[in-house]
Amino acid sequence: MKSRSSVLVRLAELYEESFAGRHGGGQLDFQRGYEELLGLSGCGEGEMRELAERDLRAANEAGVITLVPIHPRDPHIFVKVRLAPENEPAFFAYIGVTSPTARRSEWVTLFHDAKSWQVPEHFADAWRTFCTHRADAALSWRRMKPFDRNDLVGGRELLALLPRLLTWDGCHLVRWVSSIVCGDSKFLERRQKTIELLLAEATGRHAETYESLGILPVPPSVTFHGSLRLQIGSEWRDFRELHGPMTLSGADVKRITAVKCEARRCLTVENATPFRSLATLRSGELLIHTSYPSDAALAFLGHLKALPSPPEFWHFGDTDPTGFHILADIRKRSGIAVRSFQMAFRAAEISIPLNARERHLIEELIPMMPEERTALNAMLDAGTKGDFEQEGLKPPSRSVWPFYG
């Protein structure tokens, strides 16, 4: 059936949010006020109302919903729309949408299939128990975090990552492992809490951390370049004339007792290539290389923030959902009102589509980031990441701020 209005799709969305839609097994009909449903569907008046009422009457005649009249003697004036749980399959088939029960069944199948995936022998029993428990939970969608019922593709990718980590051999830094296993050097750090919780569950708590699998954290440090002098302990160190970037260990950052900064601006830069490219300009601005900031980077920023005349704080990052999330994370954890630099959405003819998790992340970021709202909405509207990598920009055309013409 092809709807002429949004009213049946909106009814389906509301049903999915109900107890029966989320968990199945509902005994009572799901119902909404007739006028309320029309209003929620944007069909409260005019031609859209007429089309919506036709769709509702047609669905009622097909027996997939029930329109409740105001009185038996007034059968053409309706006060409620009902959707019985037993009619869920027929109703969703009628509008051409996968039903909540069918969607949960797809998850059940995924976890049953996953029981046969290869994991090391010493994890095999725990892995099968984990998959069985999750399949049972998916049937009624209870205790299913961190999986998103509406993102089966993303859930499959997350689940498939676990056996790859369990079979990892050797001791290596997390970013190297992430690049090899995930094709993204930052993914494992970005989702560390979630993945480690799943690893603990999937191994019967025998492998609760990355380190237990030989996946080692990046040593805390901060890499910077610019017009800066630091007192570390009782010794002053002058970094103003260095030609290249300097990396300071987390231990030395803790020993900083005084800071003198002549730079007007502090620019945090997400990726190594643009960071080093800007550093070669020796512009006098203070540059810090960081994605999601380490404790060392946050402490370093804290020293700059505490100066009597602190520099302006800016961030230059990728313009995909993760890039904007890094900016939001720096703002939140540093307590600094960092401004974005060169982070407008750039459309591209060929680009990576946004997945459900990334769309959800953008929707969470929009109210938090009013200055970046235009770029975030443009990405949502395009449905892709666009030309998002910093390296996609041309090299700086100026040797001084703002570097790009």
Last residue of a domain, one of 161, 184, 216: 216
pLDDT digits (tens, 9 = 90+) for 99-112: 999 999 999 999 99
Quick one: 269 and 338 in the same domain? yes
Sign of CA dihedral 62, 67, 68, 70: negative
Last residue of a domain, one of 74, 97, 120: 97
Nearest Cα neighbor of 316 from 396, 252, 199 is 396
Contact 62, 8 (CB under 8 A): no
Strand partners, 69: 78
Q: Which domain holds residue 37?
A: 7-97
Q: What are phi and psi of 259, to 5 degrees?
A: -135, 140
Quick one: 26 and 82 in the same domain? yes
Distance between CA atoms of residues 224 and 222, nearest Å: 7
Mean pLDDT (whole number) for 262-279: 95
Distance between CA atoms of residues 17 and 364, nearest Å: 19
What is the predicted pLDDT for the residue at 82?
A: 96
Distance between CA atoms of residues 54 and 47, nearest Å: 11
Residue 384 belongs to a domain:
yes
Mean pLDDT (whole number) for 380-391: 95
pLDDT of residue 95 exceeding 80: yes
Quick one: 160 and 39 in the same domain? no
Residue 305 belongs to a domain:
yes
Structurally, the chain folds into a number of domains equal to 3
Token pair 């980031």 in the structure block, residue:
369
Quick one: 113 and 209 in the same domain? yes
What is the predicted pLDDT for the residue at 1?
A: 55
CATH number at residue 348: 3.40.1360.10
Quick one: 243 and 366 in the same domain? yes
Nearest Cα neighbor of 65 from 38, 85, 45 is 85
pLDDT of residue 74 exceeding 80: no
Q: Which amino acid is at 238?
A: D
Residue 236 belongs to a domain:
yes
Q: List the alpha helices (DSSP H) in 170-210.
A: 174-182, 187-190, 192-202
What is the predicted pLDDT for the residue at 189?
A: 92
What is the predicted pLDDT for the residue at 27?
A: 81
Last residue of a domain, one of 47, 82, 97: 97
Quick one: 164 and 106 in the same domain? yes
What is the predicted pLDDT for the residue at 25?
A: 78
Residue 397 belongs to a domain:
no
Residue 405 belongs to a domain:
no
Mean pLDDT (whole number) for 372-397: 94
Quick one: 261 and 115 in the same domain? no
Quick one: 85 and 116 in the same domain? no
Distance between CA atoms of residues 101 and 106, nearest Å: 9
Quick one: 117 and 37 in the same domain? no
Quick one: 276 and 315 in the same domain? yes
Quick one: 170 and 126 in the same domain? yes
Contact 261, 286 (CB under 8 A): yes
Strand partners, 258: 231
Mean pLDDT (whole number) for 164-180: 92
The DSSP code sequence of 206-231 is S--SSGGGTEEPPPPEEEEESSEEEE
Quick one: 238 and 347 in the same domain? yes
- Tell me the angle at which helices 174-182 and 152-166 cross, rounded to the nearest 10 degrees: 120
Residue 400 belongs to a domain:
no
Distance between CA atoms of residues 90 and 67, nearest Å: 16
Sign of CA dihedral 8, 11, 17, 21: negative
Residue 398 belongs to a domain:
no
pLDDT of residue 200 exceeding 80: yes
pLDDT digits (tens, 9 = 90+) for 335-368: 999 999 999 999 999 999 998 889 989 999 999 9
Residue 1 belongs to a domain:
no
